[in-house]
Amino acid sequence: MSKKYQLKKLSTRRYQILAAILIVLAAGLVLLPENPKHEGIAPNLFINKAMSTERYLSTDLIADKMINKDPSVLLVDVRSETEFAKFSLPNAVNIPLSKFLDEEFEETINQDVYDIVLFSNDNFMANEAWLLGNRLGYSNLFVMKGGLNEWFNTIISPKIPEETMPREAFELYAFRKAAGMYFGLGTTEVPEVKPVIEKCSCSCSCKFPCKRPGKSCSKRKKEEKCSGRRLLIYCCPLDY
Amino acid sequence: MKELEKTKRISISAVIFLLVIVIALLTYRRPKHLFSTDSKTTLNEMLGKDYIISSNGLKALDTSSYILIDIRSSYEYNKGHFPKAINIANNEVLNDENIQLLNSLSEDKKIAVLYGVNPNDALGTWMTIYQLGHPNSKILSVETKYVDKVFVANDLQIEQPIVNYAATLDSLKSKKIVVIETPKKIEKKEAPEGCGSGRKKEKKCSRRRMLISTF
C-alpha cells in the first residue's frame, strides 16, 4: 500500500523530476572542455573571396562619389591616429587597424547600409582590414585601389596626357584636374574659352558628272548652300 | 473511429519527424578545413609585422630553415621562379597534397615564405595558411616580374607614402592650375561623290577625269 502510494506520488511529480534531470545535464555542458569554435566563414569561401578583385574601387570612382556627395559611401582610414591627424581624405573616419575588431567599431563596419571604402597609404593595410572583416562575414567592405599613393598620383597630381593619347585620356585628365580643384587645389580660374565659329562645312555631292570642270560655285550660290538649302545643282554650276 | 484517426496522425507525424532527423544526420558534413586561429590572434600577428620578411632578412636565415612558396599560377611558375621555390597556386591551397605539405612543414618547424607578384597578392593566401594553424609562415616583400623573359625580383617597401601628403598638398594649393584643352572631335566628312564644291576639289576632279579620258 505504501509502495503504491509512493509511486503515485512520484508520477504526479514526474515533470519536476524530468526538469531536474535536464537542468543537471545542461549544467554538465558547461563543464565540457572548450572545443575550438569555428569563427566566421569557411576557409574555401574565404580563399575565393580573397582571390577576387571585386573589392577594389578606383580613385576616380571614389572622387566622383565624393564630389556627388553619395550618401551611401563611408570612407574609413585604417592608418594610425597620428597619420590620420596629419592628412586624410575629406569626411573620412579613422578606424586604426589595431582597433579594427574592437566592439566600439563593430556596428560601423558590420552593417549593410553604407558601402565602406577602406584605404591606407598603399592598399596593403586596407587589404589586411578587408580580409579580417571578410573572414567574420562582413559584407559591404571595399578597398580603394592603390590607397593614398594612388590618390596623389591620380587626383592630386595627374599625369598630363600625351598628344597622341585618345580623347578619353584627356577627358579623364580634365576630370581629375577638376576633382583636384574640388578638393582645394590651385585657383579655380576658368580659362577663357573662345567661341568656336563653325565654318561652312557643306560637302555637297553632285550627282551629275561635270562636263566643264574647273568652274566653281559662285559666291552667292555657295552661301545659299551653306544656309541649309542643299541644292545639289549648285555643286557643278552651269553644266549638268 | 475518431480515436483511431488521431493515433494514425500521431504515428505519421512521428515517422516524418524521425525521417527528418535521420536525413539531417546523413547529410550533415563537417567542413573539411576549418580555421583554427581566431581573427584577434591574426590581427595581432598582422600588427606585429613580423610576418613580412625582406630579402635581406631571408638571406640572414639558414637556407634549411625555410622553404620558398610561389603562390602564382603554375603557368607563371614554370616561366620563372626563385631557385628551390615550390609552387602552391593561391587557389589550390586547400588541395589535399598542399595541406599535407604545409602540415609536414609545420612539423619540421620550417618557415613557409610566400611570394607572389607583390606582397599584396600573397596576403590572402598567407592569411588562409596562418589561420589554418601554421604560424610559421611569412610573406617575402618583393615584387616579381619578367624583364626580357628573365625572372626578376625587386625589394618593395610596404605601406610607404610616396610623398609627404600634407606638405605636398599645401605646396600645390598655392599653384595655379594649367588647363589643357580637350582636343576637338573630328568628324569624318562624307566624300563627295562627284566633283567637290571648292575649286581645288574640282581641280582634282578634273585631273582624274583627264586621266580617265586619256586611257
State the DSSP string of B81-148. --TT-EE--GGGTTSHHHHHHHHHHHHTT-EEEEE-SSHHHHHHHHHHHHHTT--SEEEE-EEEEEET
Asked if the Cβ–Cβ distance from B162 to A152 is below 8 Å, we say: yes
pLDDT of residue A202: 47
CA of A5 vs chain B CAs: smallest distance (Å): 31
pLDDT of residue B212: 42
E strands in A15-105? 56-57, 73-77, 93-94
Cell numbers at B129, concatenated? 595558411
Q: What is the pLDDT of residues A219-235, one digit of tens each?
A: 444 444 444 444 444 44
Asked if the Cβ–Cβ distance from B35 to A40 is below 8 Å, we say: yes
Mean pLDDT computed over A143-166: 89
Stretch (H or E) spanning B66: strand B66-70
DSSP SS3 for A73: strand
CA distance A105 to A76: 11
CA of B144 vs chain A CAs: smallest distance (Å): 16
pLDDT of residue A238: 45
Stretch (H or E) spanning A82: helix A81-86
Reported as a pLDDT band with limits 50, 70 and 90, residue A73 is very high
In chain B the first and final C-alpha atoms are separated, in Å, by 115
Mean pLDDT computed over A70-91: 91
DSSP SS3 for A38: coil
**Across the interface, which of A38, A50, A204 has its CB nearest the CB of B197?**
A204
Q: Which residues contact A159 (CB under 8 A, 6 or more apart)?
A: A153, A173
The amino acid at residue B52 is: I
Radius of gyration of chain B (CA): 35
Q: What is the pLDDT of residues A175-203, one digit of tens each?
A: 998 898 888 776 545 555 555 555 544 44
Compute the count of residue pairs across chains A and B with CB atoms less than 8 Å apart.
198
Bridge partners (DSSP) listed for residue A115: A73
Stretch (H or E) spanning A26: helix A14-31
Strands B137-140 and B52-53: parallel
Asked if the Cβ–Cβ distance from A43 to B131 is below 8 Å, we say: yes
**Across the interface, which of B180, B191, B205 has its CB nearest the CB of A213?**
B205
Decide if A128 contacts B46 (C-beta within 8 A). Answer: yes
**Across the interface, which of B33, B176, B197 has its CB nearest the CB of A202?**
B197
Q: Which residues of B touch A155 (CB under 8 A)?
A: none
Count Cβ atoms within 10 A of the Cβ of residue A26 and give its class: 0-12 exposed, 13-18 middle, 19 or more buried.
exposed
The residue in chain A having the minimum alpha-carbon distance to the alpha carbon of residue B160 is A121
pLDDT of residue B179: 60
Q: Given a cut of 50, is residue A142 above it in pLDDT?
A: yes
Task: Write down the ipTM of this complex.
Answer: 0.71
Q: Which H, E and C letters describe A94-150, residue by residue?
A: ECCHHHCCCHHHHHHHCCCCCEEEEECCCCHHHHHHHHHHHHCCCCCEEEECCHHHH
Distance of CA A227 to the CA centre of its chain: 49
Q: Which residues contact A90 (CB under 8 A, 6 or more apart)?
A: A66, A183
The residue in chain A having the minimum alpha-carbon distance to the alpha carbon of residue B91 is A47
Q: Return the closest-CA partner of residue B70 out of B107, B35, B27, B101.
A: B101
The residue in chain B having the minimum alpha-carbon distance to the alpha carbon of residue A160 is B180
Per-chain mean pLDDT for chain A: 78
Query: What tens-digit pLDDT sequence spans chain B (215 residues)?
Result: 677 787 788 888 888 988 998 898 888 777 788 888 888 889 999 898 889 999 888 888 888 899 999 999 999 999 889 988 999 998 888 889 999 999 999 999 899 999 999 998 899 999 999 999 898 899 999 999 888 888 888 888 888 888 888 888 888 777 665 666 666 767 666 555 544 444 544 444 444 444 443 34
CA distance A131 to A97: 12
CA distance A151 to A176: 10
Asked if the Cβ–Cβ distance from A39 to B39 is below 8 Å, we say: yes
pLDDT of residue A160: 87
Asked if the Cβ–Cβ distance from B172 to A185 is below 8 Å, we say: yes
Q: Given a cut of 80, is residue A92 above it in pLDDT?
A: yes
Q: What is the pLDDT of residues A26-59, one digit of tens each?
A: 887 777 655 556 778 888 899 999 999 899 999 9
Decide if B196 contacts B205 (C-beta within 8 A). Answer: yes
Residue B57: how many other CB atoms lie within 10 Å: 13
pLDDT of residue B158: 85
CA distance B111 to B134: 9
In chain A the first and final C-alpha atoms are separated, in Å, by 137
CA of B59 vs chain A CAs: smallest distance (Å): 24
CA distance A39 to B143: 33
For A18, A155, B92, B117, B142, the CA distances from B145, given in Å and listed in that order, are 70, 27, 22, 7, 10
Q: Which residue has the cell 581641280?
A: B203
Decide if A119 contacts A78 (C-beta within 8 A). Answer: yes
Decide if A161 contacts A170 (C-beta within 8 A). Answer: yes
Q: Which residues of B touch A97 (CB under 8 A)?
A: 43, 46-47
Mean pLDDT computed over A163-170: 89
pLDDT of residue B86: 92
DSSP SS3 for B70: strand
